[in-house]
Amino acid sequence: MLKTLVDSRLVTTTDKTAEVSHEALIREWPTLRGWLEKNRAGIRIHRDLSEATRDWDNVLREPGALLRGVRLVQALEWAEENPAEMNALESQFLELSHEAAQREVRERDERQKRELEAARKLAETERARAESERQRAEEQVRYVSRVRLRNRVIAAAGP
């Protein structure tokens, strides 16, 4: 498609860019305008991926420099649609970023499970302690009742 536009002199290209030769094309051709908008977002995402890859490589591939969050999701979506646009280092960086994100999710899930289990055990312990205290209180009530009854009997028997 791009070659056809270049051959028709509607688009000019350099090594890294393609520009519309006539502004009227952008205004009057909604499909082209949509392509350009989509391509602009893709270019921005790829540029962000390239910069992040260089930064990661410059810090000796430090795991803390891997992509995360929204930036990772955008890069993964873009890469799925444009696999041929990435170089080997970008592909490796994106793959390692994805693996690290998945590992973080697993670790967070495991931590939450451990915390929930600890909370469940604490609740069981507290429930058992409360039951024990309730039984002890009932025993004290029975004891006090017996002592009062005994004191009444003793007072009634009198000297």
- Is 0.85 surpassed by the pTM of this model? no
Q: How confident is the chain (159 residues) per 10-residue block, as mean pLDDT?
A: 74 79 73 77 93 96 96 97 95 98 97 97 96 96 94 84
pLDDT at 135: 96
Q: Is 158 helix (H, G, I), strand (E, B) or coil?
A: coil
pLDDT at 1: 64
Any alpha helices (H) in the chain, and if so which ranges? 2-7, 23-28, 30-58, 69-81, 88-157
Ordered by start, the domain boundaries in the chain are 2-111
Q: Is 19 helix (H, G, I), strand (E, B) or coil?
A: strand
Q: CA-CA distance, 61 to 46, in Å (whole number)?
A: 19
